[in-house]
Amino acid sequence: MLKRCGIAVCLLCVSFSLHAQAPVADMHLHYKWTQQDVTSPAEAIALLDQHNIVMGVVIGTPAQLALQLQALAPARIVPIFSPYREGGDWYRWAYEDATVTRARAALSSGQYRGIGELHVIGGFAPAFDKAIVLKQLLALGNEFDVPVMIHTEFSRPDFMLSVCEAFPDTRIVWAHSGALLEPADVDSVLSRCGNVSGGLGARDPWRFVNNPLTDEAGMLLPAWKALLLKYPGRFMTGSDPVWPVDQLDRWDEADSGWQELGRFWSFHRRWLAQLPPAVARKIGCENAVVLFAPSSSLSCD
Ligand SMILES: [Zn+2]
């Protein structure tokens, strides 16, 4: 009898753990040519189901690949317009007037609900005063009332401060929350610019390894935890599924990032669980839904 009870209890545990994964919203998904080679749109949606991801912001490369996912799950997938079509576009976009024309056409079509991810990397990007294309995209974000996702990579927060102060009416999603910056620098941006939300996609043990959010045991570092608690309505997270990890601009090899969603989200769920439940729910789900899909009926329950 005892033995039978043990088995019953065990089965209960299994079913509990399957459903115990809190719903999350993934604010940073890519769907690229190289990913489509190994993950069909239907498989991608099945993976979202499997990991209880109730909403996904999808950056297609090229942009229209995101629409293939949205066609299968219209409420859950939020396609945002990426200007990238081929290798090298991650730095070229900032110098081409056509980027703005294409972005306007994409937003006018009503099919996209954001712009990004735009890479602004030290050594490749124009200085802010010369960043004409970026400024026009930020103005478009305001005109169409959609968020603009920007990935900055500098050792100081000055570039993002210039951006957010110059465009206070544009909602800006700061991909990776500065990537290389200390919590105090991130705080300086969030405290001065109420229009900035911090994304934590790819802030995991495999990317940005020199600026971790957690220690090796997965425990949030005190300064990051304090920052998340100071701004519970301003952070969101995501997987940024790129795998192998050095594949940012590779075009000749399959990218199996979607197969790693479980890896990325187990890490994020672990640190989210160290926050008060209401804060974890906001950062893990609600903030992204409110920002990217405010009129949807998507639920984080
Ligand atoms: Zn990025």
Average pLDDT for 262-286: 98
Considering the entire predicted model, what is its pTM?
Answer: 0.92
* Local confidence band at 245 (pLDDT 50, 70, 90 cut-offs): confident
Q: What percent of the chain has pLDDT over 90?
A: 87
Average pLDDT for 220-244: 97
3-state secondary structure of 47: helix
The Å distance, Cα 9 to ligand 1 centre, comes to: 43
Please give the biggest Cα pair distance in the chain: 76
The Å distance, Cα 7 to ligand 1 centre, comes to: 45
Structural domains of the chain in order of their starting residue, each with its CATH number: 23-292 (3.20.20.140)
Other C-beta atoms lying within 10 Å of the C-beta of residue 226: 12
Beta bridge partners of 152: 120
The Å distance, Cα 183 to ligand 1 centre, comes to: 18
Structure tokens at 127: 């200085």
